[in-house]
Structure 1
Amino acid sequence: MSQTVLSLFSWGTAKSLLLFFGPALLPRAINYYRSLRVQLAHRPPPRPLPSQANHALNVLFGAIVLFLTLSVPINPHAPAPNIFAQTGSRITTPTDVIFARLARYRPDHTLTEYDKLLRSKLTSTAARKVYLRFGPEALVSCQYCDLEDTTSYLLHYLPFNSAVPHLLHLFIIGLVTSASFAGADAARWRTWLTFAAILIAIADFSIMAAFDPLAAASAAVRAGQIPPSSLFHSMNLLRPLTLALFDVVSAALIYISATHRFFYRPPSQADQIEQLVTGAVAALNNVTSKLHGVSVARNAVVRDKTLKARDDWYWRTAVAMEGPGSSGAGAGSIWEDEEVVRAMSRAMNERRGAGRGLDMAQLGVNAGEYVDGITKGLEDASDQAT
């Protein structure tokens, strides 16, 4: 068999395959290498893990712990050990001998009621093949199964032993790659991870449907020289362990892509627009909250007589000093005040000493326009109040 495989995959065959597939695969490999170099050259520095991606990693961590626990043979839901391996029995060992050996591992060396029921079922080679393939529960509990039709045992086995774990795993993958739950960086892996999880489920179903542990065993097992191995117990170990390793890889992909350590993809135009809109909405909400605070403070001032009087006095004074056509002791612009003129002269001299000029006329015009804009309408309101 090995010589046949080596002859099929000789150097000549490999060379022919390279000559056939090389022209199609080589340009794709070169383009992928170039795009990878461009991606690495333009990727931003790593960033902290976003909170949404952290939610996905927390869920995956819980799933990894769950599946690892289910893969341990000592977990509460683990099936009973393979009685052929436990008792050192062969496939041709008489049933009474097998269960006499099994009684040594039971309390008080007495078989349980379940052991006695299993002994009544495990009387033929066909029943032992079912036991090795689908476990003792299918052999004991299935009411509609027939030893001549192994498909009936397969239908009894698949729903709770294979379908439920994979459906739970697909739900977890769908949750941790949801854009609303885990963010866009995790959602980009949704198609790939879902497709890979479905392939694992199909492989599991195919193994259980087509693999015969006795037919695929060695000649020594079929000849009754060594104990047979159990597909049922092997799959109970490998299935959750495979799902746990799958979730480890999924968590690694989400982490390195969410932190921009690898697989960085520049945001699209739609994403940029969404970010701008989100920033604008946040800024508007901030301004709205501040205006609401100002409104609350203003209402508090207006409702208090003392604060209202001081507020009115302040704005009447400002309007009298800055308003056009004002007269009286306080008439004139604040920019004409002697103390203000001296301060502005000192500032101008300092800027000139530093080699920079100060346009006093333009500064006065800009300041006057600003004050007029801020106090516009206050003079009329003051006149109406008087």
Structure 2
Amino acid sequence: MNTSQGAAEETKILIEERVKKTNERLVSDFCKNGTKIHRFPQNLRRIGKEGYYIAPTVAAFGPYHHGSAHLREMEEVKHAAAHYFCVKSGHSVRDVYGKVLSIADEARCCYSEDAVAGFSADEFATMMFLDGCFLLHYMTLDDESGVLVNRSTLSTGPSMLRDMFLLENQLPWLVLETLMSFTNIFPVFMFIAGTASNTLNSSSISDKRLPEDEFQKHRPPHLLGLLRHYLIGSMPPADARYSKIKVHYALASSAIELAEMGVRLTASNERWFADMSIQKGLLAGELSLTSLFLNDYTACWLVNMAAFEACTSAGFVQYDGLTINSYISLLAMLVDKEEDVHVLRAKHLVHSNSFSNQEILVFFKGLARHLKLGYRYLVVVEKIEEYKRERPARIVVHRFFYNNFRAIAALLSIAGVLVGIFRALLSLKEHPRY
């Protein structure tokens, strides 16, 4: 074997080993997918203004945004919150920190290596301790400390609710679970339930929430995962009859187009979020979906839950895990112009005091453009297409009456007047006064 052949064989061996090792590393990394704190997906970073749905505005949790200049003010508040958390728990700071230190290496593995490389073991454990104590204290809504109420609640407004559920601003559940061993887990459950009620726009969240025992059995990767589980954890599986569905990328029906076809929109009464279902009645159809309260932080929750699904989705067809993605895609399908948004508001499907019709339109269209179409969304689209195929004549008739309702009503009104005049003339003819 000459020198060039020997070099070629050596290269083949090196490539084979590299391919094998890289595959093993990726498989191993993917097995941890459910517990990792993911970076915001690169393909979704163009959503909204640069970094708006990614970076926190008042408080950093974890290493990804730790040390940002505009977030440093909250760091000293975290020390006060940790002190108060330990006092209320009846344990010393030393004991609580020691427990966090014991699981810090495992928690460190939840983040990307480049993000934690600059932290020593003690520095990382301290960050987990301070951030975790602050979050748990915040969620207990304890108002005994005036300083903390002012600095961490009153002065931050809804910004804290926004920051707590950003994908890149999460703490491993292991850290929170460890700290909760020193206190009561129930306030966390109540906080998530109350927070979710803003998204569900429900006046009776207690009727919609997951049972407490089911909540405590679930071990999410972080708070964002817990919020998503609370919203859709009781949702039944998607309709498996459409597992061989043909993807209709080009097909869409706006709210007004559905109304023209005879498909009316209604708000769902199901207890889970992101419900979407379509029923075919004898004369018309009905598309039902969960109503949404949209403001600055609920918009962030939707974006970040969609990003979380994109990072963790591994299933196929009806088990793709893209429930929030499907819900967003459906809302985006329904709005082609501001008049469609007006219809959704009128049907109580979208509520917002801070977003105009144009802003709602831009938000959903801009967001859905970057999302993968989930199975649940495709099922709804396929059922709409079935409705069109099965009822072409009825759709034509309904569209005619829908689009010409005012003219028809006017004609009927005129006809009514003419009939009245005709009857009056006939009465005079039959019963003359002279």
1 or 2 for the larger relative contact order (CA 8 Å, sep ≥6)? 1
Quick check: which one's helix share is greater? 1
Larger Rg: 1
Quick check: which one's strand share is greater? 2
TM-score of the superposition, structure 2-length normalised?
Answer: 0.26
